[in-house]
Amino acid sequence: MGLFQLLIRRCLQLVPILIGISIVVFALVRLTPGDPARLLVGPRVAEEVLVEIRQRYGLDQPLPIQYARYVGQLIIGDLGHSFRYKIPVSQLIFNHLPPTLFLVCYAIVLTLIPTLILATVAARRQGQWPDHVIRVIGVAGMTMPVFWLGIMMSRLFGVSLGWFPVSGYGEGFVDHLHHLFLPAVSTAIWVTPILVRNLRSALLEEMDSDYVLAARSKGLPEGYIFRRHILGNSLLPTLHLLGVLVAYLLGGTVIVETVYAVPGLGQLMINSVLARDYFVIQGLTLYFALATVLVTFAVDVATAAIDPRVKL
Amino acid sequence: MKAIGRSLLALAVCITMFGAAAMAQTTIRMATPYKATVLDPTKSAAAGEIELFGQLYARLLRRSADGKLEPGLAESWEVSDDGKKFVFRLREAKFSDGSPLTAADVAFSLSRALGEGSAYPAPFSAIESVEAEDERTVVVNLKAPAAPFLGYMEIFNAGIVSKADVEARGPEKAFTENPVTSGPFMVKEWKPNDRLILERNPHYWRTGHPKVDQVALIEVADTNTRIAMLQGGEIDVARDAPFAQVGELDASDKIDVPLHPSTVIYMTLLNHGRAPFNDIRVRQAAAHALDVSALTKAVTHGHATPANTTLPEALLFHHKDYPGISQDVAKAKALLAEAGAPQGEAVIMVTAGSVLSEQLAVLIQAQWAAVGLKSKIEKVDVGLWWDRLTTGDYDAAPSWWYNETEDPDLAARWALCGACGNKSFYTNYNNETVNQLTEQALNEIDPEKRKALYIRMQEISTEEVSQIPLYYPPYTNAYSTRVKGLMLSPALQWNFEDAEIVE
Amino acid sequence: MEQVTGQGQASFARAPGLLLLGGAIVLAYILLAILAGSVSGYDPDIIDLNQLLQPPSALHWFGTDHLGRDVFSRVIHGARIDLYIGFAGVIAPLLIGTLVGLVSGFFGGPLDALMMRLVDLTVAFPFFVLVLAIVAALGPGVESYFIALACVGWVTYARIIRAEVLVIRSRDYIAAARTLGLHPLYILIRHVLPNAISPVAVYVMTDIALIIVFGASLGFLGMGSQPPTAEWGVMIADGQTYISSAWWICFFPGVAIVLLGLGFSFLGDGLASLLRAGR
């Protein structure tokens, strides 16, 4: 099957998912108590003003009609307007996308080399002390609450030592690297152990496989076998997991962004939930779903490209 | 492992050097939890906007650093003998686009502020008409004399906007894309939910002001992050430092926390609309149960004054000598016994994410429990909090409010008057005498007589425990020492135009 | 070379060690939670305004917080609420997921297709966002969190069980049971479930740890348990303001979370090795 056809099929599969998600989010958001109008203009406003605002945004209409209108907008590609900022949701998402994207890529880059090294060491020294140490540190990293780590690190590296800014995104590439270092490390600390664990068991499995035994019986040096055969074949499942993690991260940087004040999508999401900015919440959720599906697709394609045995 | 550690360190060093690039322009950077979401001065009365509108739109009058009203866009004015007609004479001023600011713009702006669609028309409710008599003369007719009227020509939503621009671009566009301003600053860049960069308005009527080129308002919700940013030199001003850190911050050479007075009051709302607090004896018992000064000391680390009346200390006519309701456990128990022990638990509602109100709630709960008043705490997010407050679905709610002017008129309407539109801050407190006094005090021109009226209102409402006043906090804004002359007025207006950067 | 050939034994030998260590940690937490009152020496909710922000000492091992409450006592009592969150939170996802996976995998057909579409839908939903939205809709509190978990957490269990069931279904003994005319429900419960459940048992351990950490994150965002309940996430959030002057308020609850997470992870790992060895 051609790549293009596959893409089309995936997109068609996406339609019911997006419809389902839009209904669930719409219902959730509208049934959440809290009046966006009051949150919009502050506490001391007159009741008439609130009524007028609700009318202006059509919030006084019955829910099915509101939903129908929303879907009508979606079909022509319009995610609606933010109540608070009076600008299109798509533009708002677009503005907040770069910091989150940068952060996710940064975290992944910081993850890759330690993952390779640690997993290799753990697999080759399986059952010995390096393996145990890597395991314990890894588990600790995985269960360490990101917000707690964030507080501790920003206090130590940001304030006490002054090495890194404790917040924001900065201007320009180098400044981004500088600003997002602590948030990226905080993220990498729990992503790396997950990947290490996965890669380690894949490596062990390959080390036991017949062709490795065959190579070994031919007297090839262990290091050579490892680099030439085992490592390459073990990377595929890890790559797949990496894809899943990236998809998760695109919607899961809320806490890191909160602790380090990164103006990304996670912050936008939490602020919009608090402010009941309906269209932003709905738009963001659809975006996250779309991103998840696309990343998964990209990983599938990449897997197929690397390994001819995998069929799409 | 070692290699990674070393390269990380190298990376860190190299990054740190790049980060320290010098800035060409003078910019005051402030981190604030209050968001800027609207740039139209008539469309919001939320804290973030109140502080911002003053920077963008000049008013007819302004306040000097020591709080005196002085000429703003109006260089002079006259009041008729009956106090119902004001004639303002405008100075020659320009908007940020260079066009002249005329009486027509003033009439247009004030009409918007008091008319339909205005978020906060209350201050202008006394106005009958606003007319432009000629290019430079504005006539305002009042329905009845109103003592605080001149002061209201200075507040945040009395800012002057360009009639020509709003009519040409329409009110939505005119205030989202590069609004034409009359105040010290104009919008350079706006990243919603992140930051707002203001730059000096070259046409501002006060020549020589502002002294800095730019002001950056950066939204940072987390208190600690703001403080860490200030300590790390990323910003110059951190809005609302926690009381716990005031001492430590102020001790630093590079940071000042001057604790300027504010019109803020912390109190506990009580719902008079249902049991148990519909009974005055239970309310009084609840008030007598609290050791307000110990509570204030614990929460604010001794930086605030315990509250003695229902109105903020920084307002005119605050009743300074009133003793307030002091802690008296025996009396509280007696009052409760007399009222018959309340059934069930009173619901103390707090906003999620606010460590301070949670702390207050926990303290209040413990002190109430000591006199036999049972309660449970329910934490809800801000949206839900307002929903439940306005529908009366709560018993007690520790909270705070502030006033946009130093005149108590709007404060009384908001917090004490049961017939002024919001049921005394949604407590359902409704005392006929207090309601009448509110109107009477608005129209009373003689300051001494006004004072007597407000004193009486404070005595009645405090005695009847309309709310339980807790404390009057100062502002805890923390400033880098490189900023000179910047302060926030008690009524939430910044004087960025007077501030300077010294290295 | 030895380490490669010896690996099967190594992992088998390690299993009880990990299992014991993890079990010991978790058991210690459970005991502390049960005996919290008599171990801690202080009432976790007693406010003492004369003892604000005291550093750790012989009197207060972990110091006191911003209301003069004993941090050690609050951390110990926090084990109650956080263990409760972990154990109670895992029940609904486990039951729902197991049921869906069993039925879906065993009967197949249109029911399976429908269930899998539901799984796709839930997976495409960003987990964090959905939990956030549900908690916002229902109001902060542990119960809202449980409901949110029930809505999204079942997916992993359903997938694990379904994969196992698909393998078991084709085994000889199931075919034999079918030809004997046994009721499908009987086969499902008597033969399929016991064989499919072991990988789930391993995942439950990891999941409990994740649920606790995630619950603490919600507490940190102000959407967790109600005050004055001592919960680790809330304690960290409260202590954040005092981090520069009173690090202990924040520090100890964090350590408590990490240690408990380690315990559950070891337990899961040990269990996995044991089950692998047993097969």
> Contacts of residue B49 in chain A, CB cutoff 8 Å?
42
Residue A195 has pLDDT above 80, yes or no: yes
Q: CA-CA distance, A147 to A133, in Å (whole number)?
A: 24
| pLDDT (0 to 100) of residue B162 | 96
| pLDDT (0 to 100) of residue B4 | 47
Q: CA-CA distance, B344 to A258, in Å (whole number)?
A: 38
Shortest alpha-carbon distance between residue C186 and chain A (Å): 35
**What does the pLDDT look like over A140-151, one tens digit per residue?**
888 888 888 988
Chain-chain contact of B248 with C245 (C-beta, under 8 angstroms): yes
Chain-chain contact of A145 with C262 (C-beta, under 8 angstroms): no
Chain-chain contact of A251 with C126 (C-beta, under 8 angstroms): yes
Residue C216 has pLDDT above 70, yes or no: yes
Shortest alpha-carbon distance between residue C48 and chain A (Å): 26
Mean pLDDT of A287-306: 81
Chains that touch B (3 or more CB pairs under 8 A): A, C
Strand, coil or helix: B90: strand
| pLDDT (0 to 100) of residue C181 | 83
- What was the ipTM of the complex prediction? 0.81
What's chain B's average pLDDT?
90
| pLDDT (0 to 100) of residue B1 | 39
Which of B223, B224, B363 lies nearest to residue C67, judging by beta carbons? B363
Contact B40, B175 (CB under 8 A): yes
Compare all CA atoms of chain A with the CA of B387 and give the residue at the minimum distance: A34
Chain-chain contact of B297 with C49 (C-beta, under 8 angstroms): yes
Which of B121, B231, B386 lies nearest to residue A46, judging by beta carbons? B121
**Residues ≥6 apart with Cβ < 8 Å to B388:** A33, B349, B380, B394
| pLDDT (0 to 100) of residue A9 | 80
Chain-chain contact of A114 with B4 (C-beta, under 8 angstroms): yes
Residue C268 has pLDDT above 80, yes or no: yes
Query: Would you call A218 exposed, middle or buried from its count of C-beta atoms within 10 A (0-12, 13-18, 19+)?
Result: exposed
pLDDT: which is higher, A86 or A97? A97
Whether chain A has a CB inside 8 Å of the CB on B38: the answer is yes
Which of A127, A151, A270 lies nearest to residue C14, judging by beta carbons? A127
Mean pLDDT of A213-237: 79
| pLDDT (0 to 100) of residue B450 | 96
Residue B32 has pLDDT above 50, yes or no: yes
Q: CA-CA distance, C241 to B371, in Å (whole number)?
A: 31
Chain-chain contact of C220 with A255 (C-beta, under 8 angstroms): yes
Of A40-44, B28-32, B223-227, B274-278, where does mean pLDDT reach its minimum?
A40-44
Chain-chain contact of C221 with A25 (C-beta, under 8 angstroms): no
Contact B166, A76 (CB under 8 A): no
For residue A88, give the amino acid letter.
P
| pLDDT (0 to 100) of residue A310 | 59
**What does the pLDDT look like over B197-219, one tens digit per residue?**
999 999 999 999 999 999 999 99
Which of A86, A155, A170 lies nearest to residue B172, judging by beta carbons? A86
Compare all CA atoms of chain A with the CA of B13 and give the residue at the minimum distance: A163
Shortest alpha-carbon distance between residue C175 and chain A (Å): 31
Stated pTM of the model: 0.85
What's chain A's average pLDDT?
85
Given pLDDT bands bounded at 50, 70 and 90, which one contains residue B9?
A: very low
| pLDDT (0 to 100) of residue A311 | 55
The share of chain A scoring above pLDDT 90, in percent, equals 22
Residue B388 has pLDDT above 50, yes or no: yes
Beta strands at B237-238 and B255-256: parallel, antiparallel or unpaired: unpaired
Q: How many CB pairs under 8 A join A and C?
A: 142
Whether chain A has a CB inside 8 Å of the CB on B390: the answer is yes
Q: Which of residues 184-223 of B touch A (CB under 8 A)?
A: 191-195, 218, 220-222
CA within 13 Å, CB half, A223:
0
Residue B164 has pLDDT above 80, yes or no: yes
What's chain C's average pLDDT?
85
Residue B231 has pLDDT above 60, yes or no: yes
Candidates C49, C218, C234: best to mutate against B (most CBs of B within 10 A) is C49
Which of A35, A47, A49 lies nearest to residue B386, judging by beta carbons? A35
Mean pLDDT of A98-126: 92
Whether chain B has a CB inside 8 Å of the CB on C41: the answer is no
Whether chain A has a CB inside 8 Å of the CB on B248: the answer is no
| pLDDT (0 to 100) of residue C9 | 41
Residue C279 has pLDDT above 70, yes or no: no
Given pLDDT bands bounded at 50, 70 and 90, which one contains residue B234?
A: confident
Mean pLDDT of C229-245: 87
Given pLDDT bands bounded at 50, 70 and 90, which one contains residue B24?
A: low
Whether chain B has a CB inside 8 Å of the CB on A260: the answer is yes
Shortest alpha-carbon distance between residue C35 and chain A (Å): 25
Given pLDDT bands bounded at 50, 70 and 90, which one contains residue B16?
A: very low
Q: For chain A, how far is it from start to end, CA to CA, in angstroms? A: 8
The sign of the CA dihedral B3, B4, B6, B10 is positive
Cα angle at B218 between B213 and B223, to 5 degrees? 135
Residue B15 has pLDDT above 50, yes or no: no
Cis peptide bond N-terminal to A36, omega within 30: no
**What does the pLDDT look like over B334-358, one tens digit per residue?**
999 999 877 789 999 998 878 888 8
| pLDDT (0 to 100) of residue A51 | 87
Whether chain B has a CB inside 8 Å of the CB on A287: the answer is no
Residue written as token pair 């009395």: B158
Whether chain B has a CB inside 8 Å of the CB on C227: the answer is yes
Whether chain A has a CB inside 8 Å of the CB on B419: the answer is no
Query: Would you call A305 exposed, middle or buried from its count of C-beta atoms within 10 A (0-12, 13-18, 19+)?
Result: exposed
| pLDDT (0 to 100) of residue B37 | 84
Chain-chain contact of B359 with C67 (C-beta, under 8 angstroms): yes
**What does the pLDDT look like over B401-423, one tens digit per residue?**
999 888 999 999 999 999 988 89
Q: Which of residues 67-126 of C touch A (CB under 8 A)?
A: 117, 120-121, 123-126
Shortest alpha-carbon distance between residue A305 and chain C (Å): 24
Residue B14 has pLDDT above 60, yes or no: no
Whether chain A has a CB inside 8 Å of the CB on C269: the answer is yes
Chain-chain contact of B381 with C222 (C-beta, under 8 angstroms): yes
> Which stretch, A17-31, B96-110, C110-124, has highest mean pLDDT?
B96-110
> Contacts of residue A181 in chain B, CB cutoff 8 Å?
12, 15
Alpha-helical (H) ranges within chain A are 3-31, 36-41, 47-56, 63-75, 89-124, 129-143, 146-153, 173-179, 181-207, 210-217, 222-225, 231-252, 254-260, 265-275, 278-306
**What does the pLDDT look like over B279-330, one tens digit per residue?**
999 999 999 999 999 999 999 999 999 999 999 999 999 999 999 999 999 9
Mean pLDDT of C108-115: 88
Shortest alpha-carbon distance between residue A220 and chain C (Å): 12
Residue B112 has pLDDT above 90, yes or no: yes
Shortest alpha-carbon distance between residue B326 and chain A (Å): 30
Q: CA-CA distance, B293 to B307, in Å (whole number)?
A: 8
| pLDDT (0 to 100) of residue B480 | 96
Contact B465, B35 (CB under 8 A): no
The share of chain B scoring above pLDDT 90, in percent, equals 75
Which of C52, C67, C245 lies nearest to residue B362, judging by beta carbons? C67
Residue B495 has pLDDT above 80, yes or no: yes
Given pLDDT bands bounded at 50, 70 and 90, which one contains residue B192?
A: confident
| pLDDT (0 to 100) of residue C278 | 64
Which of B192, B224, B414 lies nearest to residue A44, judging by beta carbons? B414
Which of B117, B122, B383 lies nearest to residue A52, judging by beta carbons? B117
Which of A28, A145, A284 lies nearest to residue C137, judging by beta carbons? A28
Residue B21 has pLDDT above 60, yes or no: no
Alpha-helical (H) ranges within chain C are 2-5, 7-34, 36-40, 71-107, 109-124, 127-138, 142-152, 154-169, 172-179, 184-187, 193-220, 232-240, 248-278
Contact A182, A260 (CB under 8 A): yes
Residue A175 has pLDDT above 50, yes or no: yes
Chain-chain contact of A86 with B381 (C-beta, under 8 angstroms): no
Q: CA-CA distance, C18 to C15, in Å (whole number)?
A: 5
Residue C6 has pLDDT above 60, yes or no: no
pLDDT: which is higher, A165 or B451? B451
**Residues ≥6 apart with Cβ < 8 Å to B410:** B122, B123, B148, B403, B404
